[in-house]
Amino acid sequence: MPIVGTGIDLAEIARVRAALDEPKTGARFKARVFTTGEQAYCDARGPGQYESYAARFAAKEATMKALGLGWGAQMGWLDVEVVREPDGRPTITLHGKGAAAAAAAGVARVHLALTHTRDLAVAQVVLERDA
């Protein structure tokens, strides 16, 4: 299958944690960047929630890079959602401007890999079109 684009991103877990825990702006950051489904998944992770949030932040950035788009007028944070396949694998669901850009590029499949250490979260995205 022809590759439409690839993207990779690295997120510092401490920075994502600080943004989420900021008393004045943390709730707004969470609502602006993460879908309700992502929030439910991450919050259910207990102490591991910050790693999960950071991995999803990296996945959103990696997806934008794979599509060749930037955050802002071209695409919003909520246009990219990390969801779980029935077998537990993470994947990307695109909404709004993200879905429109993927359709225009002929994207048929999205592949997502997530990993993290104690300090860093990494996401890699590969976009494919049909042959």
CA angle (77 as vertex; 73, 78 as ends), nearest 5: 110
Q: Which of 24, 95, 111, 116 is catalytic?
A: 116
Confidence at residue 48, expressed as pLDDT on a 0 to 100 scale: 94
* Residue 111 annotated among the catalytic residues of the structure: no
pLDDT grade for 1, boundaries at 50, 70 and 90: confident
The overall average pLDDT reported for the chain is 95
Q: Which of 24, 30, 60, 65 is catalytic?
A: 65
CATH of the domain at 25: 3.90.470.20
Confidence at residue 70, expressed as pLDDT on a 0 to 100 scale: 77
* Residue 30 annotated among the catalytic residues of the structure: no
What is the domain count for the chain?
1
By residue range, what is the domain housing residue 121? 3-128
- Name the DSSP letter for residue 25: T
One-letter amino acid for residue 83 of the chain: V
* pTM of the shown model: 0.95
Lookup: tokens for 85: 């396949």
Q: Say yes or no to pLDDT of 131 above 90.
A: no
